[in-house]
Amino acid sequence: MTLAPHPATVKRALSAHAAIGLLAGALLYIVCLSGTLLVFYEEWQRFEQATPPQMTAIDPDAVQRGMEALLATERGKPPTTHFYVDMPLAELPTTRVITDTQSMHLDAQGRLVGPEQIEWANFLYGLHYTLNIPVAQGLVGITLVGLLGVLMIALALSGLIAHPKIFRDAFRLRTRHRGGVALSDWHNRLSVWTLPFSLAIAVTGAVIGLSTVTAAALAERYYGGDVEALYATMFGEEGEPDPAPAQLPDVATALRYMAANHPDVRLTYVTVHEPGTAGQHVQIVAEHPRRLIFGEYYLFDSAGRFEGTAGLADGALGQQAAASNYDLHFGNYGGLPVKIAYALLGLALTAVCATGTFIWLGKRRRRGFDEPRLRAAWHAVVWGAPAALAVTLVVRLTAGNGAPFAALFWGLLALAVAATVLARGRPQSAQELLPAP
């Protein structure tokens, strides 16, 4: 008995694999490329703005002063719905206070020292998350990226069926063969050895990307259309809003509680919901060591009294799984060594995307069908996308934070594709390509 699939099945799987690969094509390549770079999101932020006060810890009273100072600048304006403190960490040793409309750095005493200027890192984030598509507040873009995650899973499945000897040949890398053999070997070997990684980031990425649409459908059926109620089952409930004015919450007391009672966790974020209203409450996110969850929510009232946790660390399995999705996708669970591993594996996956289309073009060429314009366009995507990203980074360093990075990137990429396609001549006929008898 053999487990090998029938040759007809293999052939159909190969067709499916090619169809999915060509459908996802350039967008999947760009998502993989940007994701590889985005592994170092914090490091890019430091690169962009090295001047803010550096610290690896901050006094709770300084955080309180920073919050009060920032919210004082917004008096008379529409009130912010949320206030955040991005706590200092080893990989990003700055403290930032953030409202719906602005983000400022703090010094160690809690004084505002200037705006955050990380628009290039944010552009990269937007490129990976939504392909910079702003329609419907990014919903269209993030759903499209989710679809690309689905196609990545399908590529893995169809690739396994289409290559029955893929495991048997897993260490066969004929780097010195010509005529497409080496290219196929690189594609297949990198695919098989990055398979656990690819599946993990494809599934988690697709869940993140498609969750808005899925949650809307589930909420419509089971929660009367209340999407927040659905998410509350996993991430905890937000308090009842009460717009009556109130003093700002005592964040310092909440932070001191954490230091005294949970010294083993790492505080990453403080969130104040509806600050300055009677309905306000404080949420502190803390990373737990050696866990995949992005953190646990520690909940406090406006006086800084501890009320409980959301249960992301020790609640239902579904809560822990949902909370693990993000760090498993972005590689934020083991410091710099895991980030480097993710970047290398991401690079391999990007190479798999690039080589897949080249393999398909090569097969057609060997059968006598040359597509110079198509090949030129693919070259332009593969080499043009990293080049365009590099140009945006140079522009960031020379022209500053306000440059239109997304327009520049997509404009340059479109220009590269158009220019290379136009520079190519007519396709060669099959007659010219076939070897002489």
- Using CB under 8 A, pick the residue from 197, 257, 326, 410 that binds another protein: 197
Q: Which of residues 31-70 bind another protein (CB under 8 A)?
A: none
Is residue 177 at the binding interface for another protein, with CB under 8 A as the rule?
Answer: yes
Using CA of residue 394, residue 395, residue 396, residue 397, what is the dihedral sign?
positive
Is residue 139 at the binding interface for another protein, with CB under 8 A as the rule?
Answer: no
- Using CB under 8 A, pick the residue from 150, 227, 395, 433 that binds another protein: 150
Query: How far apart are CB 327 and another protein at their closest, in Å?
Result: 9
Which residues are CB-contacts of 44 (< 8 A; sequence separation ≥ 6)?
A: 37, 118, 120, 121, 124
Query: How far apart are CB 246 and another protein at their closest, in Å?
Result: 31
Is residue 237 at the binding interface for another protein, with CB under 8 A as the rule?
Answer: no
Is 29 or 84 the residue whose CB approaches another protein more closely? Answer: 29
Query: How far apart are CB 338 and another protein at their closest, in Å?
Result: 7
Is 246 or 292 the residue whose CB approaches another protein more closely? Answer: 292
Q: Which of residues 299-318 bind another protein (CB under 8 A)?
A: 315-318
Options 45-53, 268-276, 320-328, 396-404: segment touching another protein (CB under 8 A) = 320-328
How far, in Å, are 141, 215, 330 from residue 212 at the CA level?
11, 5, 19
Mark 330-369 with x for binding to another protein (rule: CB under 8 A) and - for no binding.
---xx---x--x--xx--x-----------x-xxx-xx-x
- 339, two tokens: 């980030």
Whose CA is closest to 192, among 213, 167, 172, 174?
A: 167
Q: Which of residues 273-292 bind another protein (CB under 8 A)?
A: 290-292
How many beta carbons lie within 10 A of that of residue 361, not counting itself?
A: 19
Query: How far apart are CB 86 and another protein at their closest, in Å?
Result: 24
255-288 burial code (b ≥16 CB/10 A, e <16): bebbeeebeebebbbbbbbbbbbeebbbbbbbbb
Using CA of residue 218, residue 219, residue 224, residue 229, what is the dihedral sign?
positive
Q: Which of residues 209-228 bind another protein (CB under 8 A)?
A: 210-211, 213-215, 217-218, 221-222
- Using CB under 8 A, pick the residue from 43, 61, 68, 169 that binds another protein: 169
Q: Which long-range contacts (CB under 8 A, 24 or more apart) does 77-86 make?
A: 77/101, 79/275, 79/276, 79/277, 80/275, 81/273, 81/274, 82/271, 82/272, 82/273, 82/274, 82/275, 83/271, 83/272, 83/275, 84/269, 84/270, 84/271, 84/272, 85/251, 85/269, 85/270, 86/268, 86/269
- 179, two tokens: 């005529």
Whose CA is closest to 234, among 292, 320, 298?
A: 320
Options 133-141, 326-334, 381-389, 401-409: segment touching another protein (CB under 8 A) = 326-334
Is residue 17 at the binding interface for another protein, with CB under 8 A as the rule?
Answer: yes
CB 57 within 8 A of CB 76: no
Given phi > 0 = left and psi -120 to 50 = alpha, else beta, which region is 293? beta
Query: How far apart are CB 195 and another protein at their closest, in Å?
Result: 9
- Residue 213 dihedral angles phi and psi, to the nearest 5°: -70, -45
| Amino acid at position 356, single letter | G
Is residue 180 at the binding interface for another protein, with CB under 8 A as the rule?
Answer: yes
How many beta carbons lie within 10 A of that of residue 365, not counting itself?
A: 16
- Using CB under 8 A, pick the residue from 82, 167, 237, 303 that binds another protein: 167
Is 108 or 338 the residue whose CB approaches another protein more closely? Answer: 338
Is residue 14 at the binding interface for another protein, with CB under 8 A as the rule?
Answer: yes
Is 75 or 178 the residue whose CB approaches another protein more closely? Answer: 178
Query: How far apart are CB 433 and another protein at their closest, in Å?
Result: 12
Is residue 18 at the binding interface for another protein, with CB under 8 A as the rule?
Answer: yes
Is residue 168 at the binding interface for another protein, with CB under 8 A as the rule?
Answer: yes
Is residue 427 at the binding interface for another protein, with CB under 8 A as the rule?
Answer: no
